[in-house]
Amino acid sequence: MIMDIHSHTYYSRCGRDNPRQTIQAAIDGGIEIFGISDHNYGIADRKKEYFELLTALQKEYSEKIKIVRGIELCTVENLWLRDEEDISYFDYCLVEHIDRPESSVGLDIFRYALRCGCKTGIAHTDLIAFAKTLGKDPTDFLKAFAEHDIFWEINVNYDSIHGYHEHEYVKRLVESKEEQDIVRNSGITVSVGFDGHRVEDYVPERVIKMCHFLESQKIPMVVF
């Protein structure tokens, strides 16, 4: 299964691409499951409009690629989801920055996932390092996420918006048998996301390589 479920369009303040451009790039790149996951604060009060567009695109491209409808939730700097906002109708959400001291969610992530009401994943966060910072056993820490049906994103971003920075936790996972064992033994499922913001920067080969690596290591990916 080749999945990329982290991408941004002009609905994100940091994005600019038409959703059709990103979908076509995914199709051309050999992606089988593609998720659009714009930032909640960029979408703002256009969530119904955004969801309806993704639903229309899901149907339009159904014979070429599976589209899943997502939203990325910031938890810092007054950009978080308002209490009265309903996102339960989305296919999934990606929650970011729970490891930051200023996060409005932090270790309350399990309650927060229930509040979201849809499939929930943790975006571009080093959960193993976070566990160690908290003095927790990494396997047990990840197991708690698995028990609450929360998946973990393996973010393979490499683009101009992020200064061509690669996430250290992803590089460690590939290189460390110990960390691969931690993930496997915890039972947590993972997703793969490029976190694209500019279609011209998209490198689907990075997504495909990671999906194949996870499959070879028998690390289960989240199912849609």
Q: pLDDT by residue (tens digit) across 168-223?
A: 999 999 999 999 999 999 999 999 999 999 999 999 999 999 999 999 999 999 99
What secondary structure does DSSP assign to 68-126, as a single string?
Answer: EEEEEE--STT-SPPTT---TTSSEEEE--TTSTT-SSGGGHHHHHHHH-SEEEE-S--
Q: Kindly state the helix (H) or strand (E) to which residue 33 belongs, with its residue range.
A: strand 33-39
Q: Does a structural domain hold residue 221?
A: no
Calculate ∠ Cα 94-98-104, nearest 5°: 105
Question: What is the model's pLDDT at position 162?
Answer: 82
Phi, psi (rounded to 5 degrees) for 145: -65, -45
Q: Does a structural domain hold residue 71?
A: yes
Q: Does a structural domain hold residue 141?
A: yes
Q: Kindly state the helix (H) or strand (E) to which residue 4 belongs, with its residue range.
A: strand 3-4
pTM over 0.95: yes
**Looking at the 3D structure of the chain, how many domains does it have?**
1
Q: Does a structural domain hold residue 222?
A: no
Q: Does a structural domain hold residue 110?
A: yes
Phi, psi (rounded to 5 degrees) for 24: -65, -40
Question: What is the model's pLDDT at position 77?
Answer: 82
Q: Does a structural domain hold residue 167?
A: yes
Q: Does a structural domain hold residue 161?
A: yes
Question: What is the model's pLDDT at position 134?
Answer: 97
Q: Does a structural domain hold residue 224?
A: no
Residue 130 identity (one-letter amino acid): F
Calculate ∠ Cα 143-113-115, nearest 5°: 150
What CATH number should be reported for the domain holding residue 172? 3.20.20.140
pLDDT tens string 78-123: 899 998 999 999 999 999 999 999 999 999 999 999 999 999 999 9
Question: What is the model's pLDDT at position 15?
Answer: 87
Question: What is the model's pLDDT at position 209?
Answer: 99
Upper half-sphere CA count for residue 15 (Cβ side, 13 Å): 26
* Cα–Cα distance for residue pair 45/132, rounded to 1 Å: 38
Residue 49 identity (one-letter amino acid): E
Q: Which domain holds residue 211?
A: 3-216
